[in-house]
Amino acid sequence: MSALAAQDWLTAPSTRSVIAALEAAGGPGCARFVGGCVRNALMGRPIDDIDIATTLKPEETEAAIRAAGLKAVPTGIAHGTVTAVAQRRPFEITTLRRDVTTDGRNATVAFTDDWAEDAARRDFRLNALYADHEGRVFDPTGEGVADAAAGRIVFVGDPRTRIREDYLRILRFFRFFAWYGRGEPDAAGLEACRDLASGMTRLSAERVSKELMKLLAAADPRPAMAAMIGTGVLAQVLPEAGDLALFDAVVDLSDDPVVRLMTLFPVDAEAIRTAAERLRLPNSTRDRLVASAVAAPDVSLAMTDAQVRAAVYRYRGQAVSDAVLRRAAEAPGSDAARLLSIARTWVPPRLPVGGKEVARLGVAPGPETGRLLKAFEADWIADDFPTGGHAERLAALVSARRA
């Protein structure tokens, strides 16, 4: 039997208190760590979330947590999940389950006390791993530990069956390959994803976009994206995406998933806005993608410092920075450090004059005030935002208009 190397989270008082609470109600061995925390511990990766599987029913779990003086939150009680909070750390605890019915999006589950049944309904063998409070690893499929060691992403059982249970597993296959895979993707998994890709139309846009953004955040998602192109999966998710040359180049320039996503779209604000609405991307992501497309025509790698500042004033630093990265991806080997530094650090000043200053020069309120301020702003930007001489510059404009 495999065992986890020493883990701080495993021996932390908060973790011990949760396991002790569950075992007080269900006896030794009624609770095991499951999924990502076990997988990542075996692979030497950081641990984010600590999930626990238990033979206790949800109401028993909730009662056991409360009896131990810990906070219990019924976060997904219908599907068997209760979140325990110990020393401000959340632990998601789920009763062992088996699927009763599935429709490609949602599953009706029944609770069980059979660890093998629970493992059989999971997506990949390296995710169907359990560990007890001493770090002893249980591998019901018999292949999960080996897959974690080798960087193999292999479905539990028949890939087509797993995918038909939830078509999001197609994207998860590529996402886990991007994060944990080594070598070539599993051939049987690829074939199943290719053959069943059209089933992703059943999924909600929010689920798809969240999975896509997680994939793009991997250290190097290029092999996974190439596999998605080859199987037709990317065309299902992002029909706007074409050649991956820009994407491949930008991965070396930025680990920001939004920047990487940007290169999969044409420089077309309306096309991006339409795609963002279809994918139900967060408003902040949509607005950032659109802003970069709007700024892009006025951004080049040949800009002077003053021109970069002018662009930042007009479009804001984030949009200019993103557009610069796109231009750098278009010209591999170019040096965009100077432009990026300005875009990311320079703070645009406020226009130093307004309607009051114009009125003091005898101009009646009205359209002429707006025209004068626009002319002043254009000259001020062209001169690289001088900090003085504003009154004289504005007076000269007013005099010229009256001449």
Q: pLDDT per residue over 201-217, tens digit each?
A: 999 999 999 999 999 99
Instruction: Give me the mean pLDDT over the 106-127 stretch.
Output: 90
Domain contains 230: no
Provide the domain limits for residue 85. Answer: 1-150
Neighbours of 285 (CB within 10 A): 17
Domain contains 369: yes
Domain contains 86: yes
Instruction: Look at residue 403 in the predicted model and tell me its pLDDT.
Output: 64
Strand order in the sheet with 81-86: 71-76, 81-86, 89-95, 50-54, 31-34, 130-131, 137-138
Domain contains 81: yes
Domain contains 102: yes
Domain contains 143: yes
Which residue among 102, 127, 150 closes a domain? 150
Across 106-133, b (16+ Cβ under 10 Å) vs e yields: ebebebbeebebbbbbbbbbbbbbbbbb
Instruction: Look at residue 101 in the predicted model and tell me its pLDDT.
Output: 66
Domain contains 139: yes
CATH number of domain containing 80: 3.30.460.10
Which residue among 99, 123, 150 closes a domain? 150
Q: Tell me the pLDDT band of 103, cut-offs 50, 70 and 90.
A: low
Number of domains observed in the structure of the chain: 2
Which residue among 100, 120, 150 closes a domain? 150
Per-residue pLDDT tens digits for 136-184 = 999 999 999 999 999 999 999 999 999 999 999 999 999 999 999 999 9
Residue whose C-alpha is closest to residue 38's, from 28, 29, 48: 48
Domain contains 180: no
pTM of the shown model? 0.90
Instruction: Give me the mean pLDDT over the 19-32 stretch.
Output: 96
Instruction: Look at residue 2 in the predicted model and tell me its pLDDT.
Output: 87
End-to-end CA distance of the chain: 93
Instruction: Look at residue 108 in the predicted model and tell me its pLDDT.
Output: 74
